[in-house]
Amino acid sequence: MHKALDAILQPSLESARPEFSAILPEEGIGEIKALELLAPLVIGHARRLNAETAFAHMDPPTPWVTWATSLWNAALNQNLLHPDVAPAARDIEDLVVRWLAPCFGMNGGHMTPGSTVANLTALWAAREIKGIRRVVSSTASHLSVAKSAHILGLDYLAVDTTGFGQIDREQLPADLSDSAIVLTAGTTSAGALDDLTLTGNAAWKHVDAAWAGPLRLSSKHRGRLNGIDTADSIAMSAHKWFFQPKESGLVLFRDSAAAHRAVSFGGAYLASPNIGVMGSRSANAVPLFATLLSWGRAGLEMRINGAMESAQMLFDYLDKQANVRLYGPNASGVILWRTKDNTDVRDLIDRLPEGSASTTTIGDLGWVRHVAANPTVNIDALQRAIGTAISVRQPGHDQLLIRPSPSRR
Ligand SMILES: Cc1ncc(COP(=O)(O)O)c(C=O)c1O
């Protein structure tokens, strides 16, 4: 539980703040009072994703046009499950999918609450259409891939990665004819990009592009995702590099008519079949549509390129520090490092500004992780903070941990 909420719910405080009692109140306090009470907690204690050193997670600050449209969504409460209850919102979803799908070589799809559901939906379609019995991905793929296989009753095989976290093609089984291969565009821990041209003889190829998919809309970086257009299906989280409020994602298909048929159910109370995993679902396409309408592809590209540049500046800075070991290159704006003298990663993070770094473990090594989700980050301020953090003397060390190195290694 959040520290602030936890403190408020402590028995000693319950008498002082009876409105937050652990028991459902019988009488309400009214909307104004409720907002007055909640604002300092919910807004005051929220992690600021647009802070100048926010660079820790795959959660971006959202543009204000999404705040306005999310308020519309909350007030109008359209349900995409039924055309009668969401006439405009369904058309807007169709259009935004029609805008995006061709950028990835796909011909359609639908919105989901994120890539967990998008991965599940894609592998469900693969099972129905191709009769796959197994899902194969790398050990660096997101847990939702193994989870999807489990839910769908499919075998799951995780193959090793190369040194920088990409799927190791040498480890793939020779025969994938009964399998879906899942390649990742931007692994969760390290942002590694699998070779998306890999297919082998897989019955179905799915690309989990939850994080790095939007690079395809940048003229500068689109080549990093070469091969994505040979997929049968693609998952993306619009609440990552499309800068959307949660919960916003997409599943796209090369043959969306066949895929949608495979994952549809009819119901007596529905005017049209229910497509995909979700039942009732929100008009999450509206804020995405408003963002893309406001910025255009070029506006999105500008932000993504800016984020990639910030990540590269950070990489270059860390690369010059004598005591820093970098995990791998800046493939998709995720930078991992640790100190060569094995300073505890938790200690390092505790010395950095809140929200500037997260931890991740690869194999049995911990890493400090930065993710370029915030295009307004002040990279100089972050570098200064890192410089201070890594120059702290450790007990037992009589030298500074980090000294600037005269040359790159
Ligand atoms: C590579 C990858 N796939 C899937 C997911 C799950 O996406 P979501 O959180 O949108 O469900 C994530 C989340 O970080 C991810 O990094």
Q: What's the pLDDT tens digit per position in 103-145?
A: 999 999 999 999 999 999 999 999 999 999 999 999 999 999 9
Residue 9, C-beta contacts closer than 8 angstroms, at least 6 positions apart: 1, 20, 22
User: Is residue 353 one of the residues assigned to a domain?
Assistant: yes
User: Is residue 191 one of the residues assigned to a domain?
Assistant: yes
For the Cβ of 188 lying below 6 angstroms from any atom of ligand 1, the answer is yes
CB 101 within 8 A of CB 110: no
Do both 288 and 377 map to the same domain? no
For residues 225 and 237, what is the distance between their CA atoms, to the nearest angstrom? 16
CB 235 within 8 A of CB 250: yes
Least confident of 2-11, 138-147, 377-386: 2-11
The yes-or-no verdict on residue 96 having pLDDT over 90 is: yes
DSSP 340: T
What mean pLDDT is predicted for residues 335-353?
A: 95
Per-residue confidence band for 393, with pLDDT thresholds at 50, 70 and 90:
low
Per-residue confidence band for 406, with pLDDT thresholds at 50, 70 and 90:
very low
Do both 287 and 323 map to the same domain? no
Do both 26 and 175 map to the same domain? no
Per-residue pLDDT, 407: 35
For the Cβ of 210 lying below 6 angstroms from any atom of ligand 1, the answer is yes
Do both 83 and 232 map to the same domain? yes
Average pLDDT, the chain: 92
- Could you tell me which residue, 132 or 25, shows the higher pLDDT? 132
CATH number of the domain encompassing residue 348: 3.90.1150.170
**Distances from the Cα of 101 to the Cαs of 221, 224, 249, in angstroms?**
18, 18, 13
Instruction: Domain of residue 19: give its range.
Output: 3-42
Do both 200 and 335 map to the same domain? no
Query: For 239-270, what is each residue's pLDDT tens digit?
Result: 999 999 999 999 999 999 999 999 999 877 88
The yes-or-no verdict on residue 61 having pLDDT over 80 is: yes
User: Is residue 170 one of the residues assigned to a domain?
Assistant: yes
Do both 85 and 38 map to the same domain? no
Residue 115 alpha carbon to ligand 1 centre in Å: 5
Do both 265 and 328 map to the same domain? no
Tell me how many domains the chain contains: 3
Do both 116 and 149 map to the same domain? yes
The yes-or-no verdict on residue 3 having pLDDT over 60 is: no
Nearest ligand 1 atom to alpha carbon 118: 11
Do both 72 and 13 map to the same domain? no
User: Is residue 56 one of the residues assigned to a domain?
Assistant: no
User: Is residue 397 one of the residues assigned to a domain?
Assistant: no
For residues 262 and 183, what is the distance between their CA atoms, to the nearest angstrom? 22
Do both 311 and 285 map to the same domain? no
The yes-or-no verdict on residue 229 having pLDDT over 70 is: yes
For the Cβ of 93 lying below 6 angstroms from any atom of ligand 1, the answer is no
Do both 167 and 270 map to the same domain? yes
- Could you tell me which residue, 403 or 348, shows the higher pLDDT? 348
